[in-house]
């Protein structure tokens, strides 16, 4: 007999992780499948960034936030598979069959798509030989602030991520120069002002045209930057180069012909704020779900997840209550509350 789940969540970013928690809360037999080895989705790209905009949560580092999300996702013991990419989904009567890249089949009554923008990879510098510096001082994400202390840094890029990094690193770095190929930065104006106030130098219409290595050819020592308007070329000594040119998304998940879900912008699925898509039994949450007024932020992923799981619950059990009971009277919480309270008020041994 196949092991059939009530819901299979595809994607283990914030939307998928919170969906796993919430569907446990709603008593659904849950499986989560994530293609990367690590859970956390895009937040893994900014482990040292302070996240300020999660309601009621003090500023928290991305890495710490992921740990908390994963811990919460596991509260009701869902089955979690990592390093497992979903390639294809087909429908057979009332059942979905999920094909993963390792050749396994998974069976589920419903699907919750939480695949974000797909499998995400940073857009790389196209300069010849650039890849050999990736193990040294060419970075596509900022994994550890420590590395940038007292360094001369060039950041290539003009979007929110580039300027956020400039602001975050400015108290630690010796100098930061942001170069951007267009006339005007595309980041949020308040963050640009913050960067300027912090002493970040900004040069628009400028691109990196050459990376020049140190004597033993292990790291970049100079970069050549060219201004497209003045045609001036400057060779700068640098310690670290951060490239923030956006991301490529691999939209690798496919459906059989019987499953049609309208898309927006070629990739994002059109659906409702309730998490429903045009395909009965397939729901969506987080960045992948598009509806009027949608903003792609962490807080939105949680609301989407709760809505989608509640829709799944009532899809499977039409008489079920519309939303989950989160008060401490819920039997699922009673025992866990007791354990937490006992630990908090345990007598301190001298």
Ligand X SMILES: Cc1cc2nc3c(=O)[nH]c(=O)nc-3n(C[C@H](O)[C@H](O)[C@H](O)COP(=O)(O)OP(=O)(O)OC[C@H]3O[C@@H](n4cnc5c(N)ncnc54)[C@H](O)[C@@H]3O)c2cc1C
Give the binding site for ligand X (CB under 6 A). 10-16, 33-36, 41-43, 45-46, 51, 53, 85-86, 114-120, 161, 252-253, 286-287, 296-299, 301
Provide the b/e sequence for 154-179 (b: ≥16 CB within 10 Å): bbbbbeebbbbbbbbbbeebebbbbb
Please say whether the beta carbons of 261 and 255 come within 8 A. yes
Task: State the Cα–Cα distance between residues 316 and 304, nearest whole angstrom.
Answer: 18
Find out whether 328 is annotated in a ligand binding site.
yes
Please say whether the beta carbons of 163 and 185 come within 8 A. yes
Nearer to ligand X, 261 or 332 (CB): 261
CB of 40 to ligand X, least distance (A): 7
Task: State the Cα–Cα distance between residues 108 and 5, nearest whole angstrom.
Answer: 5
Nearer to ligand X, 73 or 225 (CB): 73
CB of 298 to ligand X, least distance (A): 3
CB of 149 to ligand X, least distance (A): 21
Q: How far is CA 269 from CA 291, 301, 348, in A?
A: 9, 14, 53
CB of 107 to ligand X, least distance (A): 16
**H/E run at residue 138:** strand 138-139
DSSP state letters, 96-135: EEEEETTS-EEEEEEEEE--TTSEEEEPPP-STTGGGGTT
Q: Are strands 220-227 and 206-213 parallel, antiparallel or unpaired?
A: antiparallel
Q: How far is CA 135 from CA 131, 138, 249, in A?
A: 8, 7, 23
Nearer to ligand X, 116 or 324 (CB): 116
Find out whether 241 is annotated in a ligand binding site.
no
Find out whether 151 is annotated in a ligand binding site.
no
CB of 75 to ligand X, least distance (A): 18
Task: State the Cα–Cα distance between residues 10 and 23, nearest whole angstrom.
Answer: 13
- Report the number of secondary-structure helices (H) and strands (E) in the chain: 6, 23
CB of 224 to ligand X, least distance (A): 27
Find out whether 109 is annotated in a ligand binding site.
no
Task: State the Cα–Cα distance between residues 122 and 128, nearest whole angstrom.
Answer: 17
**H/E run at residue 211:** strand 206-213
CB of 284 to ligand X, least distance (A): 9
Q: Which residues pair with 201 in a beta bridge?
A: 177
Find out whether 256 is annotated in a ligand binding site.
no
Nearer to ligand X, 46 or 96 (CB): 46
Find out whether 49 is annotated in a ligand binding site.
no
CA 6-23-294 angle, to 5 degrees, is: 110
Please say whether the beta carbons of 114 and 13 come within 8 A. yes
CB of 38 to ligand X, least distance (A): 8
Nearer to ligand X, 28 or 43 (CB): 43
Nearer to ligand X, 186 or 213 (CB): 186
Find out whether 315 is annotated in a ligand binding site.
no
Nearer to ligand X, 86 or 195 (CB): 86
Nearer to ligand X, 297 or 341 (CB): 297
**Per-residue tokens: 38:** 């690590």
Q: Which residues pair with 243 in a beta bridge?
A: 156
Known binding-site residue numbers for FAD: 34, 42, 46, 86, 120, 287, 328
Known binding-site residue numbers: 34, 42, 46, 86, 120, 287, 328
């Amino acid at each position: 007999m196949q092991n059939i789940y009530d819901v299979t969540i595809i994607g283990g970013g914030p939307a998928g992780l919170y969906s796993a928690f919430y569907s446990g809360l709603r008593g659904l037999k849950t499986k989560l499948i994530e293609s990367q080895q690590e859970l956390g989705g895009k937040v893994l790209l900014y482990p040292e960034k302070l996240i300020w905009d999660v309601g009621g949560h003090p500023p928290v580092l991305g890495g710490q936030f992921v740990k908390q999300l994963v811990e919460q996702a596991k509260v009701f013991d869902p089955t979690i598979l990592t390093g497992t990419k979903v390639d294809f989904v087909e429908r057979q009567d009332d059942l979905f069959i999920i094909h993963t890249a390792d050749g396994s089949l998974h069976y589920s009554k419903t699907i919750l798509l939480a695949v974000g923008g797909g499998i995400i990879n940073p857009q790389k510098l196209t300069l010849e030989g650039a890849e050999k510096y990736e193990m040294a001082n060419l970075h596509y994400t900022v994994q550890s602030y420590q590395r940038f202390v007292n360094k001369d840094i060039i950041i290539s890029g003009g979007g929110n991520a580039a300027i956020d990094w400039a602001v975050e690193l400015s108290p630690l770095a010796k100098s930061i120069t942001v170069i951007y190929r267009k006339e005007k930065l595309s980041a949020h104006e308040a963050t640009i002002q913050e960067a300027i106030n912090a002493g970040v130098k900004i040069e628009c219409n400028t691109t990196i045209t050459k990376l020049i290595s140190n004597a033993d050819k292990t790291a970049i020592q100079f970069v050549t930057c060219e201004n497209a308007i003045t045609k001036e070329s400057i060779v700068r000594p640098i310690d670290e180069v951060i490239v923030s040119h956006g991301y490529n998304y691999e939209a690798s998940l496919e459906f059989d012909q019987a499953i049609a879900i309208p898309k927006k912008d070629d990739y994002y699925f059109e659906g409702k704020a309730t998490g429903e898509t045009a395909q009965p039994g397939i729901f969506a949450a987080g960045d992948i779900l598009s509806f009027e007024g949608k903003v792609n932020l962490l807080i939105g992923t949680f609301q989407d997840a709760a809505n989608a799981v509640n829709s799944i619950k009532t899809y499977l059990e039409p008489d079920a209550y519309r939303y989950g009971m989160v008060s401490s009277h819920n039997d699922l919480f009673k025992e866990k509350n007791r354990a937490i309270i006992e630990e908090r008020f345990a007598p301190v041994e001298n």
